[in-house]
Amino acid sequence: MKRVLLACLAALALCSEARAITFLTTQFDVTAVTTADGAPPGVDSESGPPSPTPVSASADSVGAANIATAGAIGAPGLLTASADASAINGIASAVGTSHFLGTFTMSAAEPLLVLNFAPTNFASGSGLASTSLFALLTAGTSTLFADLVTGPWNFNLAPGITYSLDLTLSSEASAGFPAGVGDASTSGMVAITSAVPLPATWLLLLTGLGPIAVWRKRATQATGRVA
């Protein structure tokens, strides 16, 4: 009995499941820009609409000693951006940007807006790398949130209201400035989902320990009667 109750408690703690949000309107804009000494610059951009989603952009500048590459993807519920730069005798830089603008309403069953943001940065020597996500959440003329997001983020919203979500994901890498050998690599991904808020940890604990305490009390009483 005790094991069954503990198993039920564990299942309750893991029962929240992220689900895709149905957006009423969507707009994607992705760009990739690269420059490297000894190579022509690279530029690519795509938007949707008019292009069907997902949209992607990629660019590269490849020289004899300096290399820069960048990419970005925008799709319903998912944004990615990446940039890489390597310099031996000069300067290389890359920027990948993925922008999303959409409107949506939340359901009473799943009122939690979730941004699963996962940045990865690496740099050595003169290399510099960074990935940032700026989020703007509004309801009509009211701004609910406008700031940089540094990791997994969620916001509890009221159902039946039309919200606007504006996201800009940008990855930047550079090397060789002001001088010296360097490497840099950065990437970021953000998934946009909805979910049911889980009870606080202490509430989950009480939910499980309450029945266990009752069971132990009854077992003790039964043992006393037998004795």
Query: pLDDT tens for residues 120-140?
Result: 999 999 999 999 999 999 999
Q: Are 100 and 73 a contacting pair, CB within 8 Å?
A: no
**Residue 17 confidence (pLDDT):** 61
Using 50, 70 and 90 to split pLDDT, how confident is the model at 197?
low
Which of the pair, 211 or 55, is modelled with greater confidence?
A: 55
**Residue 6 confidence (pLDDT):** 38
**Residue 73 confidence (pLDDT):** 96
Burial 161-180 (b: 16+ CB within 10 A, else e): eebbbebbbbbbbbbbbeee
Over residues 181-204, the mean pLDDT reads: 77
Using 50, 70 and 90 to split pLDDT, how confident is the model at 13?
very low
Which of the pair, 64 or 196, is modelled with greater confidence?
A: 64
Indicate the average pLDDT of the chain: 84
pLDDT, one tens digit per residue, over 202-227 is 344 444 444 444 445 455 555 554 55
CA atoms within 13 A on the CB side of 214: 6
For the chain, percent of residues with pLDDT exceeding 90:
65
Dihedral, CA atoms, 76, 101, 145, 113, nearest 10 degrees?
A: -20
- Partner residues linked to 92 by β-bridges: 36, 175
**Residue 90 confidence (pLDDT):** 92
Task: Identify the burial level of 202 via C-beta atoms within 10 angstroms of its C-beta, where 0-12 means exposed, 13-18 middle and 19 or more buried.
Answer: exposed
**Residue 107 confidence (pLDDT):** 86
